[in-house]
A = this chain, B = another copy of it.
Amino acid sequence: MLISELETPAVVVDLDVMDQNLSRIAAYGRQHQILLRPHTKTHKIPELAKRQIASGAIGITVSKLGEAEVMLDAGITDMLIAYPIVGVSKTTRLAKIAEQAKIMVALDSDEAARGISAAAMRQGSRIGVLVEMDVGFGRCGLGNEKDLLALAQTITTLPALEFKGLMFFPGHFSVGPEERSVLRTKVNEFLDRSLETFYRASLPLAIVSGGSTPTAYESDLFHGVNEVRPGMYIFNDRNTVAISAASLSDCALSVQVTVVSTAVPGHAIVDGGSKTFSSDRFQGEGGNGFGLVKEDHSAVIERLSEEHGHLNIERSERRYRVGEQLSIIPNHVCTTINLHDEIYGVRGDQVETSWRVAGRGKVR
C-alpha cells in the first residue's frame, strides 16, 4: 500500500530514519559505557520496545503501571517505572508485576517507599528503588544530598525493597547548548556532593540514572551517570530539532493530513487538529506554530481546533488544493502518538507495517 492511499490523519514512521536513530544512540552508549533504558512513553508500542532492546538497551522505562502491564504482557521483563506509585490499589498492582519481572521504581517520599514495601511484602515480591533527585526542574525529587541519603537509608531498612541508586530528570535542559552547559555545571556539583555523601555512608549507588533526549548525547558529561532514559530520540520532533538535539533529517515521524478547505483566503485547513497533534507548544524561537509542513516551510500552522489544523499560507508560493495530502512533523511526538490507536511504519512511499499503540491511554 502507498502512503498516499492511507486515510488521513495517519501517523507514519520512516523505518530507515528510526533504525538510524536506534543505532546512533546504541553506539554512543557503547562508546561511553552508559547503559540505555529508553523511555517507552514516547511510543507505548511493545514491538518498538523490543527493537530498542534488540539494538542494545538493557531494559525499558515506563511512566505508569498500565504501561508496565502492557509491556510485561508482550514479554518485556526488565523495567523502571520512573514514577512514584502511591495508594494500596496501585502498589498491589506493582507488587504483582514484580512477581513476573525485574522492576524498579523511582520515588522521593517515605510515604511512597513504605506503601510499596508493604505491598511487596504481602505479595512476596521484591522491588528495586531509585531515589529521585531534583536537579533544578522542580518537579519530583529531593533537592539536597542529606535528604537523599536519609530516604535511601530508610529504604534499606524496609522489607521487600532494594535500594539501587539515584535518578534525576533534567527537564529544564530543553534549551540551547550554551545554557545547557551552565545548567550542567550546577547539576554536577549536586551529583558530586551526593556521590561523596553516599560513599562516606558506605551505601553503594549501583545506578545513577540520568536524562532524556535533550541531554542524551551529553550523558557522559554528567558525573557518575551510568544509565540514561531518553524517549523521543527514536523519532525526534520539531521541538527536539529546535533545541539542536537532532536535525530535521533525524525526524522519523510525521502525520499525513489532507487539505479539506481552502475557502478562507490566505488559509488552508487540514484534517488534523489538537486531537491529532495535541496542543503542545513549540519550544523554539518565537514559540509559534503547531508543527512543520514538510512540503512548505513557509506555511505556518497558526492554530489548532480539535479536528482542524489552520495553515496560514499568506507567505507561501505554493498552491493548495482540497483533497491533496501534506506531511507534518509535530511539535511533540509523545503526546501526538498518545492520541492514535495505530501508527504506520513506512519505507520510501510504501506502507510496510502498522503497530497498535497498546500502551496508549494507560493513565493509571
A residues contacting B by CB (< 8 A) are 5, 7-10, 41, 63-64, 83-84, 86-87, 89-90, 108-109, 111-112, 115, 132, 134, 138-143, 147, 171, 258-265, 267, 269, 271-272, 274-276, 278-281, 305-308, 310, 321-323, 334-335, 338-341, 360-361, 363-364
The 3 closest A-B pairs by CB, nearest first: A111-B322, A108-B263, A279-B279
Name the B residues within 8 Å of A108 (CB-CB): 261, 263
Say how far A327's CB is from chain B's closest CB, in angstroms. 16
A322 nearest in chain B by CB position: B111
A109 partner, pick from B8, B9, B89, B262, beta carbons under 8 A: B262
Given contacts A90-B7, A275-B335, A335-B274, contact A171 B263 (CB under 8 A): no
Partner of A364, one of B9, B41, B264: B9
Q: Give the residues in chain B near A260, CB-CB below 8 Å.
A: 83-84, 86, 112, 140
User: Please, how many angstroms separate the alpha-carbon atoms of A63 and B9 in the complex?
Assistant: 13
Q: Which residues of B contact A271 (CB under 8 A)?
A: 83, 86
Given A322-B109, A363-B275, A141-B264 contact (CB < 8 Å):
yes
Chain B residues with CB under 8 A of A147? 263
A323 touches which of B115, B143, B272 (Cβ 8 Å): B115
Report how far A308 CA is from B138 CA in the complex, Å.
12
Does A139 lie within 8 Å of B109, measured CB to CB? no
If over half of A's interface residues share one DSSP class (helix, strand or loop), that class is named, otherwise mixed; here it is loop
Q: How far is the CA of A341 from the CA of B322 in the complex (A)?
A: 33
A279 CB to nearest chain B CB (Å): 4
The interface residues of chain B lying within 8 Å CB-to-CB of A141 are 261, 263-264
The oligomer's copy count stands at: 2
A264 with B9: CB separation less than 8 A: no
Given A7-B87, A260-B86, are A363 and B279 also a contact pair (CB < 8 Å)? no
Contacting residues, chain B, for A63 (C-beta < 8 A) = 306-307
**Contact present for B264 and A134 (CB under 8 Å):** yes
Closest Cβ of chain B: how far from A324's Cβ, in Å? 10
For A279, the chain B residues whose CB sits under 8 A away are 278-281, 335
B363, A9: Cβ atoms under 8 Å?
A: yes
Q: Give which listed residue, B111, B264, B269, B338, contacts A275 with CB less than 8 A.
A: B338
Q: Give the residue among A10, A132, A280, A361 with the most B Cβ atoms within 10 A.
A: A361
Give Cα A98 to B308, complex, Å.
24
Nearest neighbor of A63 in chain B, beta-carbon distance? B307
Q: Is the CB of B263 within 8 A of A140?
A: yes
CB distance from A9 to the nearest CB of B (A): 5
Given contacts A322-B111, A339-B361, A364-B7, A139 and B310 within 8 Å (CB-CB): yes
Q: Which residue of B lies closest to A364 (CB)?
A: B7
Closest CB-CB distance, A314 to chain B, in whole Å? 12
Which B residues lie within 8 Å of A263 (CB)?
108-109, 132, 134, 140-143, 147
Complex CA gap A147/B258 in Å reads 23
Chain B residues near A272 (CB, 8 Å)? Answer: 363
A363 partner, pick from B132, B140, B278, B340, beta carbons under 8 A: B340
Provide the residues of chain B in CB contact with A86, threshold 8 Å.
258-260, 271, 322-323
Closest to A115 in B: B323
Task: Identify 10 residue pairs between A and B in the complex whose beta-carbon atoms are under 8 Å apart, listed by A's number.
Answer: A9-B363, A9-B364, A86-B258, A111-B322, A139-B269, A140-B260, A141-B261, A274-B335, A279-B335, A339-B363
